[in-house]
Structure 1
Amino acid sequence: MRPLMLHALRASLILSAALAAAQDAGHHHPGTPDPSGGTGMGGVEAPPTLQNEGEIFAILAAADRAEITEGTYARTHARSRDVRSYGRMMVTMHTAASNRMSALSRRLRISPLEGAESRSLTREAAATQAQLARLTGDEFDRAYLSSQITEHEHLLEMLDRTLIPSARTAELRTALQNDVRPMVSSHLVRARTLRERL
């Protein structure tokens, strides 16, 4: 689990940098992740795997909760109409995704299992929400979108390197590949587009 914890720490540092740079109109974002699942790591490091599929459900639940909470705040506090609309989309789509994954968890009889990664996501989300709550207007809009970019990049990498490879149940793997990953990727593209306009 050490690579996951190190990755979570790196993601937290990246998020802090993104929020600090939110006022920079020239903020640069990396390209869209490879939909084939490539990580750009050149195969140097073997992807970490989870021992229990319940951890996958717990990680996705933590990510959904974060997006719903941040989206709820953004839809009422963002200055830009487009950013408010994006916040509403996050609430709607991540609520639906959470419901689908909960139903799948029950159907497969796999209970969510909290682990280091899901707890780390929850802590990072709380820190992000606290930082966003101190901002207003355009500054909030930029910081919110920057955090969305970082969070969705992080989740995409987790899907490609850890969650999908750890899914041993065919139905769960299919849901991750055909439902969760495309949704996360589309949210990342939209956040980048909006961020570039601010």
Structure 2
Amino acid sequence: MHAEAAAPAPDDAQIAHIAYTAGAIDVTAAKQALQKSHNPVVRAFAEEMARDHAAVNEQALALVKKLGVTPEDNATSQSLASAAAAEQTKLAALNGEAYDKAYAANEVAFHRTVNGALSGTLIPAAQNAELKSLLETGLKLFQSHQMHAEHLAQSLK
């Protein structure tokens, strides 16, 4: 063991904010894809992302309200948001097939990152059983999103 302590695990208020931020990021990405892409397969994927992430975020908001928890902004949420904003700017400059490929590749990378955070940090750190359960349900859904994104990216090569 090193003398340096690992970063403290996030608490439930921070976990709720991270999960909500991740969902909001993918809804924003999907809306951009629906504005920019003319590929029906990419558009169908984006519609699924917008619908599913908005639905999970509605459940998350209802849960934090029920629990009386105020989601707390934190370094992880800020890092996710700033990386996503930079990616949105990059994607905004692309069109056609180049956009579609970059969007699909970003969706693969984004879901990998979020799924890793959910399984490695957020779910183990969650104290509230209902929050943990919502995160576990979200992880299953987002793992299927990752597979779908991987297939989409492969089909666009």
* Equivalent runs, 1:24-35 vs 2, <5 Å: none
Q: What residue identity is the alignment partner of 1:120?
A: S
Asked if the contact 1:64/1:95 (under 8 Å) is kept, the reply is yes
User: Paired residue for 1:110?
Assistant: 69
Shift of 1:74: 0.5
Q: Who is 1:49 aligned against? A: 9
1:186 paired with 2:149, answer: no
Asked if 1:124 corresponds to 2:83, the answer is yes
* Gapped regions of structure 2 (runs ≥ 5): none
- Determine the C-alpha separation between the residues in 1 that align with 2:111 and 2:93: 22
**AA at the equivalent of 2:83:** E
CA contact (8 A) 1:75 1:86 kept: no
Name 2:120's counterpart in structure 1.
161
The amino acid that maps onto 1:98 is: N
Distance of 2:105 and 2:6 partners within structure 1: 24
Alpha-carbon distance in structure 1 between the residues aligned to 2:53 and 2:38: 22
Partner of residue 96, structure 2: 137
Share of identical aligned residues, percent?
Answer: 30
Q: What is the root-mean-square deviation of aligned Cα atoms in Å?
A: 1.4
Q: Do 1:145 and 1:192's aligned partners in 2 also have CA atoms closer than 8 Å?
A: yes
Q: Distance in 2 between matches of 1:76 and 1:120?
A: 25
Aligned residues: 152
CA distance in 1, matches of 2:121, 2:9: 5
- Distance in 2 (CA, whole Å) between partners of 1:98 and 1:169 is 17
1:4-55 Cα distance to aligned partner (Å, 9 max, x none): 7xxxxxxxxxxxxxxxxxxxxxxxxxxxxxxxxxxxxxxxxxxx621x2111
Match of 2:32 among 65, 68, 73: 73
Change (3 A) 1:109 1:123: same
Looking at structure 1, the residues matched to 30 and 47 of structure 2 have their Cα atoms a distance apart, in angstroms, of 6
Counterpart check, 1:151 vs 2:110: yes
5 Å matches for 1:4-19?
none
**TM-score, with normalisation over the residues of structure 1?**
0.74
**TM superposition score normalised by structure 2:** 0.92
Residue matched to 2:155 = 197
Aligned residue among 49, 54, 60 for 1:90: 49
- Higher share of residues assigned helix: 2
Q: Which SS does the other structure have where 2:107 is aligned?
A: helix
Contact 1:156–1:184 (8 Å) recurs in 2: yes
Determine the C-alpha separation between the residues in 1 that align with 2:51 and 2:23.
Answer: 11
